[in-house]
Each structure stands twice: as structure tokens, then as C-alpha cells.
Chain A
Amino acid sequence: MGKFSGLSRMGFKTGIVYRAHFFVSLIKIPLTLVVFFYLWRSIFMFSGEEIIQGYTFAEMFIYYVLSMLVGTLIYCDVDAWMNEGIKDGDVVGDFLRPVTYMKQLFCQYFGLRELTFLIEVIPIMVVSLFFLNVPLPSLLFGMLFILAVFLAILLNYFFTFCVGLTAFWLKEIQGIRRVKTAVMAFLEGALIPLTFFPLIFQSVFKYLPFQYLRFVPINIFLEKYALSEVVVLLSIQTVWILIFFFIAKTVFKLAFRKFAGAGI
């Protein structure tokens, strides 16, 4: 426990070192939400429809509020940290600590999540409760939502860690990271709700890991699923976490060999 909290505190602290960075990043979410608000208001006005792809305008806006909330909570750039550390060799500092590499990065990531929760998520929650009339789910779905977000935090970590591992071979993975970001914005449901895709796509998405990062937690909150569906979805989510966990563990062994073998 001591190791864990020590490392996560470091993540927390690094998050608030640069004041300007810290304060400016606070504006990001409200700003994005304003853009989405006007974008969808004009889409609804021009289409003249009350409901588009299963969402009313109010629900659509709430979708984006929740999307920002979940997206911020699960935000993970450990692949960028890995890229940097591997390229300049400072990753050996991590290798000299008596904690596995995967745990160390997870703790720092988790520390930053705590920070995010306090300074970004809580304000959005307060604003959306009192000013945006976001309807709250039932207690059960509320709990399931929290569980789904927690699982999404794990899933995103192990997935991103796997992406980061490629840096051990490729050294520079900024290209891969950009492609990843672009593709994921679609597949997570960050740009538009996944119901906008053709049904056949949606049934494929069900078995991919990405919708479990954002789209599924959001729709649990909005109670768009029956309880039995939620159980299935959370199970698939858990299976993906396990898959990425084992990939991460196995590939890291090879990566460490590669790193240690090639020299720095």
C-alpha cells in the first residue's frame, strides 16, 4: 500500500507543478461543451426532428457532458511517458525501483486520475446537477455507472500500456499515438454516439474494447440498457481488461529483454 500511494502521489504532484498548464487545462471542458451545444442545437433545428438516433436534444447534450466527464476520468497518456523514457533512456530510473514497471506507471496514472477527479470532474458534476438539469439514474444504475467507469480506467490503462510497449521496438511512436487518438475518438463514441453507425458496425463494436471506454458507461448512466444487457456488457469489458493485462504482461517481458539486450 505504501508503494502504491507513494507513486500515485508523485503523479498527483506532477499534475499541478505547472500553474499555467494546470489552470488553462481547466477551461478545456467547458469550452468543448459550448461548441458541442451550439453544433447540436443547429443540427436539431435544421433537421426539425425531435429525436435523432434515439437521442433528444437534451439527452444529446447530456451525452457530451457525460462524455467529457468519463473521457477526463479515463484519460491516459502513459504511452507518451513510455515513449519519452525509452527514447532518452531515463526509463532505467524506473527499472531501478523495486516495483514492476507496469505497477509504477499505473500508480502515477491513478494519482493523476485522483487529481482530475477533484479539480475537473467534481466541478462538471456540480454544474451539471444544478444548472443543466442532468437527470440522475436510479441508485442501481448509478452504481453500475461508477463500476463501469472504474473498469474503463483499468481498461484504458492496460490498452495504452500495450500501445506504449511498441516504443521498446520502434523508439518513436508519436505517429502510432496520433492514429490511435483519431481512431479511438470514433470508436469510443467521443465524437458522436455509436448509434449513428450502421447496425452491423454496432454489433462489431460490441466485441471490440473501445466502446467500453466511453459509450457504454455513458449509456448506463442514461439507462439506455436493460439490466441484463448491462451485465453482459460489463462482462465483456472485464474480459477485455484481462486480455490487455495479459498481453501487457507477456509483451513487457519481451520488451524488457529487447531493451536490456540492445543497450542504451
Chain B
Amino acid sequence: MTSIITVKNLKKVYKTHTRKEGLSNAIKSLFNRKYEYKQALKGISFEIEEGEIVGFIGPNGAGKSTTIKALSGFLYPTSGEVVSLGFTPWKDRVDYVANLGVVLGQKAQLWWDLPAIDTFYLSKDVYGIKESTFKSRLNFMVKLLDLEKVMHTPVRDMSLGERMKCKLVAALLHNPKLVLLDEPSIGLDVIAKDKFRDFIKLVNKKYKTTFIITTHDMQEIERLCKKIIIINNGQIVYDGLLKDIKKKYLSNKFIDVKLETKGEKFKLRYCKVVEQNEYEIKIEVNTTKIKVKEVINSLLSNYDVADILISDPPIETIIQQIFRSKDGKV
């Protein structure tokens, strides 16, 4: 495996001006501006290998978008190094973006007044895609994402979700080696989200396209990414496999039991009863202290069990734990 992106000690300080509320302060700020410096990235380093789908996770203002911008080539960092696809993104912008696809959830990248199909044809010309290749790729994507009809209506008349899907197509038509998706699932309904994810997986498999995805949707991360990078306060707090972080942080499991007949109150060491009523028990088990097997055995011997469901706590819980801890270190 070869690294497709190497980021070394990337720092970014933003200078912004601030002002207090009110008309007089607005007028004052015409002449006298107060500036504030905000450290968006405090020296992050990571590597991404070809063909990976990497989830970039972090709370608002953590530095996700700043990183994506630096990787997209339109952000000059304060210091540090990025080599992506062999280029320094902000220095070799024109050559670099020829192999890059970017979807920015919040920005318009399609021609607002024209049908999306016009933007697709523009991509064909701008990236020099062969007619036959273009047609087959477009058909493939349009079918998968259900865009046959929609792509002929002007972009301004599209729904948020339709626009997002068209943006994804526009970002992928030239078959880029690297694709950056900044909150791509905004505005998508459940079915569309599903298709969107399947589509990304398929493209990743078929073309070995590398994806970096920022999102607040943990389900998306679990469905798509093997590797995640967690960023908080401009620093990377975790960089590794999703399953490792689960293993490391999931010391608990949930057991839901349904009963055929009414049972006594459940009691066992290292187990916490979260909820119990006549026909249902919900237990949280500390798996570092007691084996799940023991708990199940105890349940089976004491109750008339109809059904058992064992589950991990959702990934959100872990992420929340990390963000809430004082130093934010894993």
C-alpha cells in the first residue's frame, strides 16, 4: 500500500474581525477593527493510503473543514506540509485538481441556472473525457442515483438532496483518484442516503478511488469507513481503525431480554439494569469484569426467555466520551 496523502504538522491560524452588537458598534467597526486569531489546526499529521475510505469526525469547529480546504487546494496553511497525489495542493492547484473530486455540502458547484446535465457536459470538456467513456460513466451513475429525469431540470429548481446527488456525479465523472466529501449527506432522505453510500462503496471498489468523508452521521461512518480520524480542537485525537477504537472503548454491551412469563427483578454483579418491566429486561454489562456468556447463562436459568438481543452501544457514545474528556486525548 502506498500513501496517497501525507500531511505533516499542518497548522492554520485564522484572523477574523469581531464586533459587538448594535448600530454604534457597527459604525465604530468601519474605522476601528478588532481582530482575533483563531488556531484552527494546531499541527496535525496523518497519512492516507490509496483505496481507503476514511471518515473524518469531529465536533463543530474542530478543524475538519479547514483540513478539507487545505486538501482541496484553496487554503494556504500557516505552516506545515501536504503532499497529495504528488502535489502541494495550494501551489499546484490547476494540475492537482485534475485528479481530484470535491463535494462541498454547503457550496454551489453546479451551474445554478442550467440543468445539471449541462454541468456534466462541461466536466466532459474541461477534463477531456472521451465521449464513450463519459456516456458509460454517466449512465452508470445516473441509474444508480435515480437522476434520469432530475438532471434535465435547472439546478435552482432541484431539491437539496437531488442537488447533492448531482454534485456527487459532477465530482466523479472524471474518475478522480481522490474524492473529498464535506458533509455529503445533508438533505438526503433515508433511502437516498442508502443509495449514496452503496454508490460510494461501489466506486471505491471498482476504481480504487480514495475517499475522505466528513460527517456528523455516525451511521454513515460505520457503513462506509474502515479507518477514521477523529479531530478535536485542531488536533488529531484518534487515527486508526474503527474496529480498534470500538474494541478499546467498548467495555460495555447491552443485552435486551424478552420474557414469555413474568420474572423477578434481575440482579448480578457487574451488570446494571437499565430498564425492567414485566416482560422485558435491559442490562448493561461490563465485559471487562464478566463474560457475556455468564450473564446469558444466568438469564436462561432464571427466566423463561423468549428472545435475546446483544448489542454494542452506538459509536456516538464513544465519540461523545472522547470529546467530553478534558484534554480530548484518546
**Interface residues, chain A, CB within 8 Å of chain B?**
2-3, 5-7, 9-10, 13-14, 17-18, 89-90, 92-93, 95-100, 256-257, 259-264
Select which of B90, B94, B100, B104 is within 8 A of A92 by beta carbon.
B104
Q: How many A-B Cβ pairs are below 8 Å?
A: 84
Supposing A14-B113, A92-B107, A262-B14 touch, asked if A98 and B97 sit within 8 A by C-beta, the answer is yes
Known: A96-B109, A98-B97, A262-B14. A2 touches B128 (CB 8 A): yes
Chain B residues within 8 Å of A14, by CB: 111, 113-114
Q: What would 11 more interface pairs be, CB under 8 Å, given A256-B74, A264-B69?
A: A2-B126, A6-B124, A92-B107, A93-B109, A96-B109, A97-B97, A97-B126, A98-B127, A99-B94, A100-B94, A261-B75
Does A10 contact B14, Cβ atoms closer than 8 Å?
Answer: no
Give B321 Cβ to nearest chain A Cβ, in Å: 30
Within 8 Å CB of B98, what residues of A? 98
Tell yes or no: B121 within 8 A of A by CB: yes
B125 CB–A CB distance under 8 Å: yes
A-B complex: 10 closest residue pairs judged by Cβ atoms: A6-B125, A98-B98, A93-B109, A260-B76, A17-B113, A95-B74, A2-B125, A260-B75, A90-B108, A261-B76
Say whether chain A's binding surface is mostly helix, strand, loop, or mixed: helix
CB distance from B102 to the nearest CB of A (A): 5
Interface residue from A6, A96, A256, A264 paired with B122 (Cβ < 8 Å): A6
Interface size class of B (residues with CB under 8 A): 35 or more
The yes or no answer to B72 lying at the interface (CB within 8 A) is yes
Say which residue of B69, B100, B108, B113 sits within 8 Å of A263 (CB atoms). Answer: B69
B90–A260 CB distance below 8 A: yes
The docked-state distance in angstroms from the alpha carbon of A41 to that of B93 is 57
Give chain A nearest CB distance to B14 CB in angstroms. Answer: 5
- Per the bound structure, the CA–CA distance linking A18 and B112 in Å amounts to 12
| Residue in chain A with minimal CB distance to B100 | A96
User: CA of A2 to CA of B102 in the docked complex: distance in angstroms?
Assistant: 22
Residue ID in chain A nearest B128 by CB atoms: A2
Can you name 20 A-B residue pairings with CB atoms under 8 Å?
A: A5-B125, A6-B122, A6-B124, A6-B125, A7-B126, A9-B122, A9-B125, A10-B114, A14-B111, A17-B113, A90-B108, A90-B109, A92-B104, A95-B74, A98-B127, A100-B94, A260-B76, A262-B15, A263-B66, A263-B75
Residues in B lying within 8 Å of A, measured CB to CB: 14-16, 40, 66, 69, 72-76, 90, 93-95, 97-98, 100, 102, 104, 107-109, 111, 113-114, 118, 121-122, 124-128, 154
Bound-state CA distance A178–B142 (Å) is: 44
A3 nearest in chain B by CB position: B126
Determine the distance from Cα of A93 to Cα of B167 in the docked complex, in whole angstroms. 11
**Complex interface: chain A residues within 8 A of B127 (CB):** 98
Please, how many angstroms separate the alpha-carbon atoms of A92 and B108 in the complex? 9
B75 proximity list for chain A (CB < 8 A): 260-261, 263
Q: Which of A3, A97, A259 interacts with B128 by CB under 8 Å?
A: A3
**In whole angstroms, what is the CA distance A9 to B40 when docked?**
40
Please, which residues of chain A bring their CB within 8 A of the CB of B121? Answer: 6
Docked complex Cα distance between A260 and B89 (Å): 12
Residues of A within 8 A of B111 (CB): 10, 14
**Contact (Cβ within 8 A) A7 B122:** yes
Selected contact of B118 from candidates A10, A92, A98, A260, CB within 8 Å: A10
Residues of B within 8 A of A89 (CB): 107
- Which of chain A's residues have a CB closer than 8 A to the CB of B66? 263
Contact B126 A98 (CB under 8 A): yes
Q: Indicate if the CB atoms of B125 and A7 lie closer than 8 Å.
A: yes
**Given A100-B94, A260-B90, do A92 and B126 touch, yes or no (CB 8 Å)?**
no
Evaluate contact between A259 and B122: CB separation under 8 angstroms. Answer: no
Within the complex, the shortest CB–CB distance from B64 to chain A, in Å, comes to: 13
For B74, list chain A residues within 8 Å (CB).
Answer: 92, 95-96, 256, 259-260
Q: Is the CB of A90 within 8 A of B97?
A: no
User: Distance (Å) between the CB of A29 and the closest chain B CB?
Assistant: 23
Known pairs A6-B125, A10-B111, A89-B107; A96 contacts B118 (CB<8 A): no
Q: Contacts of B15 on A, CB cut-off 8 Å? A: 262
CB-CB nearest in chain A for B13:
A261
Q: Which residues of B contact A6 (CB under 8 A)?
A: 121-122, 124-126
Q: Chain B CB within 10 Å — which of A3, A6, A14 has the most?
A: A6
Least CB distance, B67 to chain A, in whole angstroms = 12
Q: Give the residue name and chain of the B residue nearest to A10 (CB).
A: B122
Chain B residue nearest to A263 in the complex (CB): B14
Q: Determine whether the beta carbon of B72 is less than 8 Å from that of A96.
A: yes
Q: Which residues of B contact A7 (CB under 8 A)?
A: 122, 125-126
Pick the contact of B114 from A17, A256, A263 — CB < 8 Å?
A17
- CA of A260 to CA of B90 in the docked complex: distance in angstroms? 8
Closest to A97 in B: B126
**Highest count of chain B CB atoms <10 Å: which of A5, A17, A96, A99:** A96
